[in-house]
Amino acid sequence: MAQDQVSGDVRETGGGGGDDPDAQPVRTPREIRVVLSGLLIAMLLAMLDNMIVGTAMPTIVGDLGGVNHLSWVVTSYILATTASTPIWGKLGDLYGRKGIFMGSIVIFLAGSALSGLSQNMNELIAFRAVQGWARAG
């Protein structure tokens, strides 16, 4: 057991032959702030994507000449997110959540760049599906 210098609490640190094999190590406030900051930045990324794309989508679709396919852009994103959520969860269980989470952010950013570079509606629909697939991670 270790004594917390700030509050004087005695807590199990879970590393030195304690009775509980499932005890987790105690996280410092700095570690907690770093993790929460990373999660909040990732959530901000997804929120900005939805806010910007939601506002600009009618103009983008009009420029690409596919107003009758507007619903497919949104549907592909939502469908890919819904279908891939359990897959990302299982991958996180198998290979570690941190690496899978960071990989999904990279794929999401690649999908965003490709969506911005799309030249027709089929490309836009496919690249928004890539974004949706990565967003679930």
Q: Is residue 53 part of a domain?
A: yes
Q: Is residue 2 part of a domain?
A: no
Per the model's pLDDT, the better-predicted residue between 21 and 129 turns out to be 129
As given in the structure block, the two tokens for residue 73 are: 């852009």
Find all residues with CB under 8 Å of 66, minimum gap 6, and list them.
120, 121, 124
Q: Which domain holds residue 129?
A: 28-135
Secondary structure (3-state) at 2: strand
Q: Is residue 23 part of a domain?
A: no
pLDDT of residue 46: 78
Mean pLDDT across 28-45: 88
Mean pLDDT of the chain: 83
pTM as predicted: 0.71
Does residue 40 carry a pLDDT above 80? Answer: yes
pLDDT of residue 95: 94
Q: Is residue 61 part of a domain?
A: yes
Sign of CA dihedral 120, 122, 128, 134: negative
Count: domains in the chain: 1
pLDDT of residue 27: 85
pLDDT tens readout for residues 73-111: 889 999 999 999 999 999 999 999 889 989 999 999 999
Q: Is residue 36 part of a domain?
A: yes
Q: Is residue 16 part of a domain?
A: no
Degrees to nearest 5, angle at CA 134 with 110 and 86: 165
